[in-house]
Amino acid sequence: MEEIRIECPDIFDYEQCLAYLKRDENEVLFDIVDDKIYRAIKIDDIKLLLSISYERHYLIVEILNDISISPENTERLVNFIEEWFDFSADLSLFYQYGRKNEILEPLINELYGLRLIRIPDFFEAISWGIIGQQINLTFAYQLKKRLVESYGEKMTFENKSYYIHPTVDVISKITVKELMDLKFSRRKAEYLIDVAKIIHSQMLTKDMLLNMEDKVEIEKTLVNIRGIGPWAAHYVMMRSIGVKNAFPIGDVGLQNALKAILNLEQKPSKEQMIALNKGWEMWSSYATFYIWRAPYIKK
């Protein structure tokens, strides 16, 4: 069994990250047992089943399906995991900045070491952005689970199944009816298949967005795609592209969390959200992520 050790950044709390990853029992792309994360991924057409644990400031990654990979693919695997846990972000800068804000300061104290859990797979991030629009989180996870189990690749280990998110190659070839049979609306089925075709044709790629100069250009490119509105665009910018100042202003979870934090009678208006964002604009993505976690902090 091959083992890889990945050194963690100085500011990192594995337990905080696990708590976020455990947030929904319908999650289908990884499993957590006894503080170990089990996940199947694909690197260069090689399927890997991973076990990830934490020990003395290192992530311990074990390849459970007893396969050897090249140094180049080992590097790609490490890059995937470091991106998943957003190891490149300098949290000391966010904390220095955020502690000047009355909303963020208590959250930083409670959630110290939590990293923004990213979605390295670009199509997975866009799929979730499309699926999650205008429905509750529980139903969104159910749709995602049906999509992944129907069209993703599967690995079996010790009588348990582990799934890899479907690729654009697969989703670009299915029909709208097939997704509607999984309880997708016709519109969402069309959007998902269309965006899979666009990415498959290389008309849109993650690298293309990473090479753009600012978030305005990235957002404009994304919202020009049918089915991707401002919320989905900012979600993808935040979770997959790594834009530090993305702000999904229309996110209901974000609005409800701010309503509770500020003791408001109703959810903040768009104008109030814009005004609040000025207090953390350089780090809006992390501010959003921490505010999302506010309802789960034990009192």
Percentage above 70 pLDDT, the chain: 99
> How far apart, in whole angstroms, are the C-alpha atoms of residue 41 and residue 15?
22
Per-chain mean pLDDT for the chain: 95
- List the structure tokens of 192: 């998902």
> How far apart, in whole angstroms, are the C-alpha atoms of residue 220 and residue 141?
27
Find out whether 219 and 266 touch, Cβ atoms under 8 Å: no
Contacts of 3 (CB under 8 A, 6+ apart): 60, 61, 62, 63
> Active site includes 251?
yes
Q: How many CA atoms lie within 13 A of 146 on its CB side?
A: 14
Average pLDDT over residues 242-247: 95
- List the structure tokens of 152: 């993703």
Residue 197 CB: number of other CB atoms within 10 A?
14
Average pLDDT over residues 157-164: 94
Percentage above 90 pLDDT, the chain: 90
pLDDT at 136: 86
Answer whether residue 298 shows pLDDT above 80: no
pLDDT at 2: 79
pLDDT at 23: 86
Domains parsed from the chain with CATH numbers: 2-88 (3.30.310.20), 122-206+218-228 (1.10.340.30)
Of 86, 121, 194, 251, the catalytic one is 251
Q: How confident is the model at residue 207 (pLDDT cuts 50, 70, 90)?
A: very high
pLDDT at 1: 67
Answer whether residue 231 shows pLDDT above 90: yes
| Burial call 154-175: b when 16+ CB within 10 Å, e when fewer | ebeeeeeebbbbbbbeebbebe
pLDDT at 282: 93
